[in-house]
Amino acid sequence: MAGLGRWLYWLGGCAILAYMGWNLIWSDHGYLVYRQEAAKLQQLQQQVAGLRAARERLASEVLRLRNDPEALEELIHRELGYVHPDEYMVMMGGREASGVRRQGLGVKREGLGVRGAK
């Protein structure tokens, strides 16, 4: 009888250790979940670093546009398609029907010998 009690203690102890080992690896807070969360954390940290760099780039562009009238003029020409009074607007391509915005190319009248130049 004493030998049976000792085996039951050993068996119970081994069962508890096996349960704890299983929980350590495969439970909701186990090692495998920890590795997945660590990989996700690293990915999010890289994404945050990229977003911070983009924010800094945009902040510097805003400061440049506020303080440099030539930079503002370049942006107006590029994004809005404005031209100076001494330039011609040359439209390239006919993709307007497909939803693509038509790009204009401003050509100065002075030095290029464009027809109609004064």
26-50 pLDDT tens trace? 888 889 999 999 999 999 999 999 9
Q: Are residues 49 and 98 in the same domain?
A: no
Name residue, tokens 């562009």. 61
Cα separation, 65 vs 45, whole angstroms: 30
Residues 71 and 18 in one domain: yes
Residue 104 phi, psi dihedral angles, 5° rounding: -105, 155
Q: Are residues 77 and 89 in the same domain?
A: no
The most distant pair of C-alpha atoms in the chain lies apart, rounded to whole Å, by: 119
Mean pLDDT of 56-62: 96
Q: Domain of residue 40: give its range.
A: 2-82
Per-residue pLDDT of 66-82, as tens digits, reads 999 999 888 888 888 88
Average pLDDT, the chain: 81
Q: Are residues 16 and 52 in the same domain?
A: yes
Question: Do 69 and 49 lie in a common domain?
Answer: yes
**Residue 110: pLDDT above 80?**
no
Q: What tokens does 47 get?
A: 């994404």
Answer yes or no: are the C-beta atoms of 95 and 102 closer than 8 Å.
Answer: yes
pTM of the full predicted structure? 0.53
**Number of domain units in the chain:** 2
pLDDT (mean) for 46-72 = 95
Residues 7 and 52 in one domain: yes
Q: Which residue has the tokens 């130049």?
A: 117
* Least confident piece of the model among 14-23, 58-67, 87-96: 87-96
Is the confidence at residue 116, as pLDDT, over 50? no
Looking at the structure, tell me whether residues 61 and 93 fall in a common domain.
no
